Amino acid sequence: MSELKAPLSPPWFARPGTVLNVVLGLVGLAAVLLSLSVLQGSPVQIPAFAVACVGAYLALARLGAGLWGTRFDLTAVLCAVWIVLIVSAAVLAPLLPLAEHQDLAKSLDVQTMARPDIFSAHPLGTNNFGLDILARIIYGARASLVVSLAAVAIGMIVGGAIGILAGYFRGTVDAVVGVFTNSLLALPPLILLIALATVLQPNLRNITIGLSLLALPSMIRMARASTLAFAQREFVLAARAMGASRLRIMIRELLPNVLLPLASYGMVMVSVLIVAEASLSFLGLGIRPPEPSWGNLIAEGEGGVFVDHPHVVLMPGITLFLTVFSLNLLGEKARNRWDPRKAKV
């Protein structure tokens, strides 16, 4: 008897509705380019660009669903692209052809409060000192990302070690660690940061240390919960039966399995700490002007500036929102995949 062969799936262009989705996607992208070219210098350029982007998003979502199936998530793809772009721009900022972002003496002949014009020398406009907002956003991303990533790294290393110890030994060690974490969680985060900012100098190192205290209790609890989930698994019991030491079990068996949930939660925690750093800088307790930070960029819109020149606040605010939103969404997807507590039984 001859074997039955599964029918071959048709090529993407033969699937129902795919060609229409391709056409709609190309039309949406063309609308974006048209809004940029035709409306150059027009006051409605930004609203038209926003409307065109929404249309392009809807079209590309249908295009992706037609090419890769219903599981295609355009939002997640765009979030990943945004994170790659903002990190790349922050790392390569000294090499990019950006206008002046910090030295006031070099911006004396530049128009102040220039409105955004994508094809001009200042695509996102200038502030009240003539400094380029795009350049300040990119250099501000360097400060925000360095502080938040370093704080999360400290929280992962210290909190992960303490959480593994608490979850493996339990008993008295677990009780002491529980009191410590509950004590940190009992302090309001903003009050704790303000108290630290009044004692320590507002530089990147001290801000990083202060923010790491916010990440520490959550990382300890995450590492402890993951350790409890893996401590009774077969590979840990086998290593214990073979005479492996406690240190070896924690490093070789538990740490690799605890690291993935910590890393996924760390992405969410980075977004939280970015907002915390921006809040400190907005209040004047973090990174201070003229050194750029997303928080003090938003603070430049105080005193009625936002009413007459909304781009001063909207541009860094939108950048902060997109970055935090992207990290949260990607972090939640990573947690759903790697967190043992969310795994399907």
Q: Tens of pLDDT along 236-268? A: 888 888 887 888 888 888 888 888 888 888 888
Domain count, the chain: 2
List pLDDT tens digits, range 90-144.
888 888 888 877 777 777 777 888 888 777 788 888 888 888 888 889 998 888 8
Total number of residues shown for the chain: 345
| Residue 335 maps to a domain | yes
Q: What is the pLDDT of residue 100?
A: 78
| Residue 103 maps to a domain | no
Are 224 and 166 spatial neighbours (Cβ–Cβ below 8 Å)?
yes
Q: Residue 340, preceding bond cis, omega within 30 degrees?
A: no
Longest dimension (CA), the chain: 87
Domain C-terminal end among 72, 89, 114: 72
Contacts of 76 (CB under 8 A, 6+ apart): 329, 330, 333
Give the CA distances from residue 59 to residues 63, 73, 75, in Å, rounded to whole numbers and listed in that order: 6, 13, 13
Give the CA distances from residue 143 to residues 6, 98, 203, 281, in Å, rounded to whole numbers and listed in that order: 55, 17, 10, 11
Residue 111 corresponds to which tokens in the numbers above? 């128009």
Is there a single domain that holds both residue 40 and residue 143? no
Q: What is the mean pLDDT of residues 34-57?
A: 62
Q: Which residues of 279-298 are buried (b: 16+ CB within 10 A; e: fewer)?
A: bbbbeebbbebebbbbbbbb
Q: Mean pLDDT score of the chain, rounded to an integer? A: 79
Axis-axis angle for helices 171-186, 204-230 (nearest 10): 140
Structural domain containing residue 23 = 9-72
| Residue 34 maps to a domain | yes
Residue 42: pLDDT band with limits 50, 70, 90: low
Is there a single domain that holds both residue 143 and residue 19? no
**pTM, rounded to two decimals:** 0.78
Give the whole-angstrom CA distance, residue 315 versus residue 69: 35
**Helix/strand/coil for 299:** helix
